[in-house]
Amino acid sequence: MKLTSKLIVATAALALTSTLAFAGSGPYNGTKDALDGGMTYPRANGVETAYSYNTQAMKKLNYGRVPTANELKAWDMDMMPDGTGYPEGSGSVEEGDELYEAQCASCHGEFGAGGKGYPTLAGGSVESLKNQRTCPGKDAPTRTFGSYWPQVSTLMWYIRDAMPYAHPKSFTNDELYAMTAYLLAANEITIDGEELDDEYVLNKEKLMKVKMPNRDGFYPNIDGPDGVENVRKFFANPKNYGAVGTRCMKDCGKEKIMRIGMEITNVVPPYSTVRDLPVEKETGSKSAAEKMYDASCVVCHKTDAMGAPAVGDHDAWATVMEQGIDKVNHNSINGLGGMPPKGGAMDLTDEQVKDIVKFMVESSK
Amino acid sequence: MSNISENNLESTSSRRDFFKKTAAYSVSAIAAAAVLAPAKLLADDENIIHHTKWGTTLGDELNKNPYGLPSKYEHNIVRRTSSLMSSAGDMHAAVSMTPLHELSGIITPNGLHFTRTHNGVAHVDPNKFRLMIHGLVEKPIVLTLDQLKQYPSESRTLFLECPANGAAEWKGPQFNSLQFVKGMMSNAEWTGVRLSVILDDLGLKPTAKWMLAEGSDGSEMSRTIPVEKVLDDAMIVWAQNGEALRPEQGYPVRLMLPGWEANLCIKYLKRLEFGKEPWYCKEETSKYTVLTKSGKAIQHFYPLEVNSIITSPCPEKPWKNLKKGQMIEIEGIAWSGHGTITNVDISLDGGDNYVEAQLKGLVLPKSWTRFSYMHKYDGKPMLIQSRSIDDSGNVQPSVSQEKDIIGVEGVYHRNSIVTWEIRKDGSVHNVQVRTDNCPA
């Protein structure tokens, strides 16, 4: 008894110590050394956190094959800020203007000014990026290609791969330069101090000289040999990115309550948690002949209970069809045995009856 | 029939006899009967008294649906979207939300996984799928899907979250719905090959610092990823909860970067290139950068930080028909891209005081973790919150704590504490406790 309670005290003390020493440490023996400021976990002896894995050698598998030069050329098409991947070609602001009007303005608005619900491409200012709508009525920051994007390579690469929206990858290289020239002009961006007027012709060399207004508007600095280390330093301090909660448990303080002002309710499908039977939807897939069959013939022909050959009964209809389709059509129009002419549906034309017969025959094969 | 219910029947009938014999004439005895045998005064439940339709008819043939479907009664359990989360209501570049309020456990069924597309849901022909890996590797390769799947596989249960989850709420609450407040995320078991296994084969050159991942859809979605993450725990996956990826999730193959922005986990994967410098893709400059109040923006903001949400009760699942004094479970989900959830605290008074909730089920790194707290319902209005802590030591911030550092225009990576207001009638409302300093 004494021993047990000692043990409990000892365990509790140990638990307390480890809580103090490794505050917040979890069950998987991780180390806080990941690039993103988080944890990495040991992978050894077939165990990684809660998972087991196969420890046999997995080297020299040699799957797949080396790509051909043409395959690499076809897919390695990305464009980078240093000009890597910029194609040969050229285009003027004026040519870009015409292309823009024809291919882009319907979504992005005249002169890239937006207003159609799709992204705004021109206007705004780097200065506006400091705007904060902390209170009602304040202006928003305007994040356009001209005011926000750090690199021009991104624009031309993206236009080539992803635009026009409905049929991407359809612009020629000359068109890409023309479009890029137009959007630089629409944003009043200069190259070597020169304004881009209508006659301005953009090419690879000139594009490499573009410095976007918000080039220095982003952190951490990811460029150059220290790029990754800058990222590591940035994430090492949670205060840099807002992961700054405090674990207060009592009398932490009261703040005001903000309720929903104008609730957004236009959601699709509408909100519902009801568990009932769904409303039957019109199939819409029935042919005209099947609809006429449903209206005029199904009562007798659904089963053979009334002596009529049942639709879907392969053998019964094979027997009927031994007479030939012309005879079957004739009997259907003029009546036979218990069946009145046209099954009693005298408003049907002869052709409609033939269509129905065809549906019944087809459905019974 | 069990002995217990036989005994109950017996005691009921003997009680009935007793009342017949002795107390049927006295008014006070009727009151006594109400106390002693309340079941006698309740209306019978027709669902018990009568045979059911499904108990008296033949059901469907067993394989009527060769690929199974949910019960037809569950038709409201669906992804939802809003034109506000698209361009001009165009649903090709939009996002749909997982119905978190209807999920149990930590696995999201594939048909309910949240979806974000930048140029519509692509339908990649698996026979024409090719994956190219090149750049700063000793041996570049192309793989067919069959060749890719030859690699030894691993499975991981991981959350995927769009970093814009909750983006509508920076300036205040807007949606009165769990699905729209936090539904841009899901959790599934993903199966594929670790990229480190492939790179062992190809040989990565020491100068390789970054990897470009590129998709094959109409937007050619691409992102730059640091090689360090690629070698740590990145995977190329082809299966989701035991079956092929759904087209909405990138069929046939996507990248999986545990704990990082879902946008980085490129769908319809086509090409991986290793290089010395980052690429500056459209979705890591124009979007997916966090504009802070300094006017400068955080780029390459990879991890989804520690987060949590109460899923029951919630606006869609209010506390209705509860009795004062009864016990009721407060349940929710916690997750962290930085590691493993260690604790979740619950506040019942809008963040003034907290008590510790308990974790339940599997507690896995970079995965949803369920938490639970039993509460004695007293019928009074409440402001309930959850606050999670992970093994990296990060604590989920309050709205004000996050806002003070980032501002209100960040759009992405909002992980502050969510508050549900429970009113007297049991209805649940999305509110925020926050300090704003607007001039009156």
CA-derived radius of gyration, chain B: 27
CB-based contact A292:A286 (threshold 8 Å): no
Q: Looking at the partner chain, which of A28, A141, A274 has a beta carbon nearest the beta carbon of B291?
A: A141
Contacts of residue B53, defined as CB under 8 A and 6 or more positions apart, other chains included, come to: none
Show me where the domains of chain A are located. 28-55, 79-207, 288-362
Residues 279-338 of A with CB under 8 A from B: none
CB-based contact A187:B268 (threshold 8 Å): no
Q: In chain A, which residue's Cα lies nearest the Cα of B221?
A: A162
Q: Which residues of B touch A252 (CB under 8 A)?
A: 351-354
Interface test with A, best of B147, B236, B305 (most A CBs within 10 A): B305
CB-based contact B256:B192 (threshold 8 Å): yes
Q: In chain B, which residue's Cα lies nearest the Cα of A56?
A: B152
Domain A288-362 adopts which CATH fold?
A: Cytochrome Bc1 Complex; Chain D, domain 2 (1.10.760)
CB-based contact A86:A77 (threshold 8 Å): no
Are A58 and B291 a contacting pair at CB < 8 A?
no
Are B299 and A246 a contacting pair at CB < 8 A?
no
Are B337 and A38 a contacting pair at CB < 8 A?
yes
- For residue B37, what pLDDT is reported? 55
Is B149's Cβ below 8 Å from some Cβ in A? no
Of A283, A162, A134, A294, nearest in space to B171 by CA: A134
Residue whose token pair is 């067993």: B62
Where does CATH 2.60.40.650 sit in chain B? 307-431
**% of chain A at pLDDT higher than 90:** 64
Backbone angles phi, psi at A160, to 5 degrees: -65, -45
Residues 97-126 of B with CB under 8 A from A: 101-102, 118-119
Of B172, B93, B273, nearest in space to A117 by CA: B93
Predicted confidence (pLDDT) per residue in A299-318, tens digit: 778 777 667 888 888 888 88
CATH of A79-207 among 3.30.1300.30, 1.10.760.10, 1.10.10.10, 1.20.1050.90? 1.10.760.10
Residues 10-49 of B with CB under 8 A from A: none
CATH of B72-280 among 3.90.420.10, 2.60.40.1730, 3.80.10.10, 3.40.50.1970? 3.90.420.10
Are A267 and B286 a contacting pair at CB < 8 A?
no
Residue whose token pair is 């990495």: A40
Predicted confidence (pLDDT) per residue in A68-105, tens digit: 999 999 999 999 999 999 999 999 999 999 999 999 99
Q: Which residues of B touch A271 (CB under 8 A)?
A: 80, 177, 316
Q: Looking at the partner chain, which of A27, A72, A223 has a beta carbon nearest the beta carbon of B277?
A: A223
DSSP of A77-123, one letter per residue? ----TTSTTPPS-EEEHHHHHHHHHHHTHHHH-GGG---SSSPP-S-
- For residue B438, what pLDDT is reported? 79
Backbone angles phi, psi at B210, to 5 degrees: -130, 155
Rounded to the nearest 10 degrees, the angle between the axes of helix A350-362 and helix A325-334 is 130
Q: Which pLDDT band, with edges at 50, 70 and 90, does A282 fall under?
A: low
Q: In chain B, which residue's Cα lies nearest the Cα of A80?
A: B279
Inform me whether the pLDDT recorded for A125 exceeds 70: yes
Residues 245-264 of B with CB under 8 A from A: 259-260
Residues 15-44 of A with CB under 8 A from B: 23-28, 30, 32, 34-41
Interface test with A, best of B92, B101, B150, B299 (most A CBs within 10 A): B299
Chain A nearest-CA distance from B325, in A, is 24
Q: Which residues of A touch B282 (CB under 8 A)?
A: 154, 157-158, 162
The tens place of each residue's pLDDT in chain B, 440 residues long, gives 444 444 444 444 444 444 444 444 444 444 444 455 556 678 999 999 999 999 999 999 999 999 999 999 999 999 999 998 888 888 999 999 999 999 999 999 999 999 999 999 999 999 999 999 999 999 999 999 999 999 999 999 999 999 999 999 999 999 999 999 999 999 999 999 999 999 999 999 999 999 999 999 999 999 999 999 999 999 999 999 999 999 999 999 999 999 999 999 999 999 999 999 999 999 999 999 999 999 999 999 999 999 999 999 999 999 999 999 999 999 999 999 999 999 999 999 999 999 999 999 999 999 999 999 999 999 999 999 999 999 999 999 999 999 999 999 999 999 999 999 999 999 999 999 999 877 76
B67 vs B59: CA distance, rounded Å: 17
Interface test with B, best of A63, A171, A233 (most B CBs within 10 A): A63
- Give the A:B interface size as CB pairs under 8 Å: 398
Are A119 and B83 a contacting pair at CB < 8 A?
no
Compute the mean pLDDT over every residue in chain A, rounded to the nearest whole number: 89
CB-based contact B88:A117 (threshold 8 Å): yes
CATH no. of B307-431? 2.60.40.650
